[in-house]
Structure 1
Amino acid sequence: MQSKKQVIERASFSGIWPEKTVDFMKIALLKDPPNASLEEARGEAEMVIFGAIDNLLAKTGVKVGDIGILIVNCSIFNPIPSLASIIVNHYKLKHDIASYSLGGMGCTASIWAIGMANKLLQVHNNTYALVVSTENISQNCYLGIDRSKILINSLFRVGGAAILLSNRPSDCKTSKYQLIHAVSTHNASSDTSYNCIFQEEDKQGFRGVTITKDLLVSAKNAISLNLITLGPLILPLSEKILFLLHFMKGKLGRGKSKSHVPKFSVAIDHFFPHLLGGRPVLDELQKVLGFRDEEMEAPRMTLLRFGNTSSSTVWYEIAYSEAKGRIKKGDRLWQMAFGSGFKCCSIIWKATRTVDGYEKTNPWSEEIDKFPILMDSSGQFPYLFEG
């Protein structure tokens, strides 16, 4: 774990951020006592969001006037004017842009936003959709003593990602990926799922997010429903037949055979699940879906290096595989995210080209050679659920 001073030194040495941004990071990280004002929270959001967008525009060469759709998500920080308005104002985006701010969506918001952008691009021709995902913690540290709320203080870190989608035919030659499928599952109709992650005040009036003992069950149910929808879209015929045979065997009462879970690894080359729940959830997903250790390396190393950056986490995972030079033309990538509601979302991408392993703006570029690092498998995720 790096100290705050080490984080500042690394940010300055990387050369990625301009000096004024590093100066703001010094103020935000090193101020004692911490300042949880609205001004500081907005400054934190702008630092992350503008940095991600600046890097994206510089890398793609896209002009801001060509962006026709803007979707920004931050679950717990929703200022007035909105984050979408902050971006429109800063970059002077055109007045008829279709803009949306998603709040309260939890860790699934980025993948949900990609699916939303995909639908919007089907009715807005010849344009770009900019999706920006972040989280904000300046005003959202829990200050009470309720154990079911304290966990959030150690779970999340600030992160950010900016993604550009296009429906312009000319961009097929330069894009990294083609969006193949977007599948979303929303279980908020279930009271148990709805209440398992819940923002509220404690008895002393301190605001926090409660995580209940029902989280893992709600997550399992949401993921199962998502897989039922996704499976027929991506699985080969052989796996579909095998699943049907097991299903029929169970219906006919022939033996006590366990239900067959298709091996999604036969249809997917890279798996990038969200990190909610830490190693135990990653272990279970690997076991159930049939992925090899190398295919789970990106999420495990992201958990170790960056922790849970909420909705942007799955983009840090893709960046890891890109920095390792593992994304080859034709590969299929699966991003899965789950979070409050309870929701589960999946996105399937197809690599349209082999992705260059070195990219200066990749968050792993300065240290990718140090990974993977062997993780201690003896530890358990410190859940502190309410009783």
Structure 2
Amino acid sequence: MVVNKYKLRSNIKSINLGGMGCSAGVIAIDLAKDLLQVHKNTYALVVSTENISRNAYAGDNKSMIVANCLFRLGGAAILLSNKSEDRRRSKYKLLHTVRTHTGADDKSFRCVQQEDDDKGKTGISLTKDITSVAGRTITKNIATLGPLRAIDHFCIHAGGRALIDELEKSLGLSPVDVEPSRSTLHRFGNTSSSSIWYELAYTEAKGRMKKGNKAWQIALGSGFKCNSAVWVALRDVNPSVNSPWEHCIDKYPVKLDL
């Protein structure tokens, strides 16, 4: 669709990472990084989106209805370049990407699955193990990231309130650290792999992203997978034109009666 819409050249490499779950955005960035290391003087466009229409569940199994309540449509596009002249106008430099997969463990493998219920209706099943699985998987990811962690801003996948609560506790984060994730979940729902970009935009809209700051994007998805990207701001970053937070940033963070 993108190639057709913008009449791109026939030698454009179009790579589909559909089906990779909520962690696909960072996997796409990792792939783009590898391609840019091989093809010099090049741009890479990463388009990250959620489309719930294929997986809307029409049954009455509570563990499968949850996905209908959480997921919302959303999308983001990220332009990457390896051209030296683009540095002066770029927002960020990619420092690290780390990919962790714990699918060999049955609890990890089965905590998020597409399956049929007892009436033959297809949906996404979420088990109660998802928060503990996420905690263990992200711990392994951090072990790889290890000494690279001097992080100023956190963009944790807005998978759900319980998930954010668990990661806030297990990582020892402060309320302001998880504010972008909570605000994104409240305003936009779970937009899957694009949620980490809504969160980065939130930090920009709040005027918090200063030159030299490091932002850690943490994407979690079925499999179970945890993928990380660490970026450093090349300048003080102002909100983008037509930011998703343009008309509502002053309303956040909101205080909820729990």
Fold in common (TM above 0.5): yes
Task: Pick the aligned partner of 1:314 from 192, 196, 206.
Answer: 196
Q: Give the conservation status (yes or no) of the 8 Å contact 2:55–2:124.
A: no
Secondary structure of residue in 1 paired with 2:229: strand
1:53-85 deviations in Å (ceiling 9; x for gaps): xxxxxxxxxxxxxxxxxxxxxxxxxxxxxxxxx
Post-superposition offset of 1:220:
2.0
Task: Pick the aligned partner of 2:246 from 365, 369, 372.
Answer: 365
Show the counterpart of 2:158.
Answer: 275
1:342 is matched by which residue type in structure 2? F
1:25-174 matches, within 5 Å, as: 86-174=1-89
Q: Counterparts of 1:366 and 1:327 in 2: how far apart (Å)?
A: 19
Post-superposition offset of 1:375:
2.3
Higher normalized contact order (CA 8 Å, seq sep 6+, divided by chain length): 2
What CA RMSD, in Å, does the superposition of the two structures yield over aligned residues? 1.4
1:315 is matched by which residue type in structure 2? W
Structure with greater strand percent? 2
Q: Counterparts of 2:99 and 2:78 in 1: how far apart (Å)?
A: 19
- 1:344 maps onto 2:239 in alignment: no
Task: Pick the aligned partner of 1:221 from 119, 136, 145.
Answer: 136
Secondary structure of residue in 1 paired with 2:219: strand
Q: Counterparts of 1:122 and 1:275 in 2: how far apart (Å)?
A: 30
Post-superposition offset of 1:88:
1.1
1:146-181 deviations in Å (ceiling 9; x for gaps): 222111110100000000110000111000000000
The normalised TM-score by structure 1 is: 0.64
Q: Counterparts of 2:71 and 2:161 in 1: how far apart (Å)?
A: 15
Secondary structure of residue in 1 paired with 2:68: helix
Task: Pick the aligned partner of 1:194 from 109, 119, 134.
Answer: 109
Secondary structure of residue in 1 paired with 2:11: coil
Post-superposition offset of 1:142:
0.6
2:195 is matched by which residue type in structure 1? T
Task: Pick the aligned partner of 2:182 from 286, 292, 300.
Answer: 300
Post-superposition offset of 1:293:
2.1
1:284-303 deviations in Å (ceiling 9; x for gaps): 32233233222222111111
Post-superposition offset of 1:182:
0.2
Q: Counterparts of 2:38 and 2:138 in 1: how far apart (Å)?
A: 30
- Unaligned segments of structure 2, at least 5 residues: none
Distance change >3 Å, CA 179–CA 336, structure 1 → 2: same
Post-superposition offset of 1:92:
1.3
Q: Give the conservation status (yes or no) of the 8 Å contact 2:57–2:68.
A: yes
Show the counterpart of 1:287.
Answer: 169
Secondary structure of residue in 1 paired with 2:30: helix
Show the counterpart of 2:256.
Answer: 375
Higher gyration radius (CA)? 1
Post-superposition offset of 1:211:
1.2
Show the counterpart of 2:209.
Answer: 327
1:115-134 deviations in Å (ceiling 9; x for gaps): 11111111011100100011
Q: Counterparts of 2:217 and 2:246 in 1: how far apart (Å)?
A: 21
Aligned residue pairs, count: 258
- Unaligned segments of structure 1, at least 5 residues: 1-85, 236-266, 379-387
